[in-house]
Amino acid sequence: MKKLCMWGVAACVVLAFASCKSSESAYKKAYEKAKQQELAEPQVVETVEVEMITPVVTAPVETQTALDEANSVRQEKVTVVSGSDDSLNNYSVICGSFGLKANAEGLKDFLIGEGYSPIIVFNPDTAMYRVAVSTFADRAAAIQARNAFKARFPNREDFQKAWILNRL
């Protein structure tokens, strides 16, 4: 009786292992089949020509200087963190604003290498460190310096966002 039971168990084990399929899943096989079909088919790209119509809008003409003055001058109360306090005038060209002083120091080091004398100022209301490239007594000189700074670095998107700080 024991031998018969052993033979039965052995037969079940053999049948169980013999009926097992490969270890690959059906999903993997289907994915690979679809991938091969995709590679075998030539890629056809349809092009559709669309005629673009641009609307004509009439608007009052404003000079770029007027737009620059209106859009990029901010008033903030700041204190000098790195640099001499007496070198900060009423208007400064700001090229970077950071929450961490270390990031502001890194930009300052870069600008020193480019020949500038930057100053780092801190705005306690916003807890931001501002990197001032240059500082001026009048607004027109600051705007001119900002435009020259942007022209010197046309490929730096962050420098293209430079703005004027009016110190309170």
Q: Two tokens at 108?
A: 């300052």
Q: Where is pLDDT greater, at 102 or 42?
A: 102
Q: Out of 3-7, 58-62, 84-88, which region has the weakest mean confidence (pLDDT)?
A: 58-62
The residue whose two tokens read 């501002």 is 130
Domain of 147, CATH number, reads 3.30.70.1070
Structural domain contains residue 66: no
Contact between 132 and 88 (Cβ < 8 Å): yes
Give the rounded percent of residues in the chain with a pLDDT score beyond 90. Answer: 47
Structural domain contains residue 101: yes
Rounded CA-CA distance 143/92 in Å is 9
Q: Out of 55-69, 104-118, 138-152, which region has the weakest mean confidence (pLDDT)?
A: 55-69
Contact between 132 and 94 (Cβ < 8 Å): yes
Structural domain contains residue 37: no
Determine the angle formed by the axes of helices 64-71 and 139-152, rounding to 10 degrees.
100
DSSP state of 23: S
What total number of domains does the chain contain?
A: 1
Residue 24 confidence (pLDDT) above 90: no
Structural domain contains residue 87: yes
**Structural domain of 112:** 78-167
Structural domain contains residue 154: yes
Residue 68 confidence (pLDDT) above 50: no
pTM of the model: 0.58
Instruction: Tell me whether residue 95 is exposed, middle or buried, using C-beta atoms within 10 angstroms of its C-beta: 0 to 12, 13 to 18, 19 or more.
Output: buried
pLDDT tens across 136-153, in order? 999 999 999 999 999 999
Rounded CA-CA distance 3/73 in Å is 97
